[in-house]
Chain A
């Protein structure tokens, strides 16, 4: 199947700093990318959806100014957690889809804010 690469796999940052997570589709054009958040022992919660070249659509309750999403090309989307706090510590997962096809998932990023 298609490959979605997410980087970094783990990151530890200090409270108040910003962290950028990258999501790349390696062998297809990701017209749509999704960002999820997963708390320990819980399911995935969709944070936002982005279409290449357009502003992201955020789910209710997700602060767009805190979780900045950029989808500037058909192979790359980034999620920036701004002014991170310990409560932002979580597992973040991206997925990418070409057209209306199957969505492929990245490996996830474990963010720890200390």
Chain B
């Protein structure tokens, strides 16, 4: 079975400093991995995705993530945090195709706070 573990429930950074949101995955095959962002009372927006191409994936708003198979990790980073980055972030793995469809499996989420 596939799963993701987000290692931090809360991360707090100062504006202009780097952001690191950690995610480890478990999968018996080469996974598809995603990072989504959710602002309060809003739907989800895709930041970036890994689908077995380049291991360093660049997304929107300056975010990027590196797929490391040896560490089963897919950490999300940004060089310089902005106040507007404050939100909930979800690491997601797509399940293996079964039963006629595959589905997204969400991590517990990491709440990012950005301080002036």
Contacts and interface: CB of A to CB of B under 8 A. Distances in A.
Interface of A: 1, 4, 6, 32, 34, 41-46, 49, 51, 57, 91, 93, 95, 100, 102-108, 110
A100 B62 CA distance: 27
Contacts of A107: 42-43
25 contacts: A1-B46, A6-B43, A34-B103, A41-B111, A42-B108, A42-B109, A43-B90, A44-B44, A46-B103, A49-B101, A51-B100, A57-B99, A57-B100, A91-B41, A93-B43, A95-B44, A95-B104, A102-B46, A103-B104, A105-B36, A105-B43, A106-B43, A107-B42, A107-B43, A108-B43
B41 A110 contact: yes
Interface residues of B, number: 20
A46 B104 contact: yes
Interface of B: 36, 41-46, 49, 90, 99-104, 106-109, 111
A7 to B, nearest CB: 12
Contacts of B36: 105
Contacts of B99: 57
A107 B101 CA distance: 23
Nearest to A36: B106
A32 to B, nearest CB: 6
B101 A51 contact: yes
- The 9 tightest CB contacts between A and B, nearest first, are A105-B44, A105-B43, A107-B43, A43-B106, A44-B106, A108-B43, A43-B108, A43-B109, A106-B43
A93 B44 contact: yes
A91 B43 CA distance: 10
A46 to B, nearest CB: 6
A51 B101 CA distance: 9
A108 B101 contact: no
Contacts of A108: 41-43
A102 B49 contact: yes
Nearest to B107: A43
Contacts of B45: 105
Contacts of A42: 108-109
A57 B108 contact: no
